[in-house]
Amino acid sequence: MSYEEDGVLELEDLNLPSEERLKKGPTAIIECIENIPCNPCVDACPFNAISMEKITDIPEIDYEKCIGCGTCIPACPGLAIFVVDISREKAMITIPYEFLPIPEIGDKVKALDRKGEIVSEAKVIRVKKNENKTNTVTIEVNKEMGMIVRNIKVVK
Ligand code: SF4
Ligand code: SF4
């Protein structure tokens, strides 16, 4: 089923980095495809890795400039930016997180796919509380889940 039919993005809908780039280290993945008038991601990146010509363009990311710092994640009101690192034995995914409770480092949480379905277990590696309440949570999952998991469910 396509994104237009069910609202769920598939990998084919996205402009993804090459396998070679993914092996080099963390990079932002921008899952924003709707040409909405929005651009805080462009200004948020200290490395000028995100660009767009006009405000209704889809943001473009230069994967050679992106170092995967995650600064752009809380700047995105659409919660559409993730940082993925599949260069190691386990995948690390940093997600925007606005729910409560906020997980803590070391917590075991449920990992959800783009449909919101539980697809695996995840371990919380890092939590960054941000002033605008769009916190960022980094989780560790099995490598094959790196491009599948995009949210978490915290069960306390
Ligand atoms: S992760 Fe960091 S370097 Fe990459 S696009 Fe976002 S702000 Fe820029
Ligand atoms: S800030 Fe987020 S929603 Fe806005 S253009 Fe950038 S990626 Fe899309």
Is any atom of ligand 1 closer than 6 Å to the C-beta of 76? Answer: no
CA of 135 to the centre of ligand 1 (A): 16
Residue closest via CA to ligand 2's atom 2 equals: 76
Residue range 31-58, pLDDT digits in tens: 999 999 999 999 999 999 999 999 999 9
pLDDT at 1: 78
Is any atom of ligand 1 closer than 6 Å to the C-beta of 49? Answer: yes
pTM: 0.96
The 3-state DSSP class for residue 81 equals strand
DSSP per-residue letters across 22-34? HHHS-EEEE---S
Query: Nearest-5° angle of CA 120, CA 134, CA 76?
Result: 95
Is any atom of ligand 1 closer than 6 Å to the C-beta of 45? Answer: yes
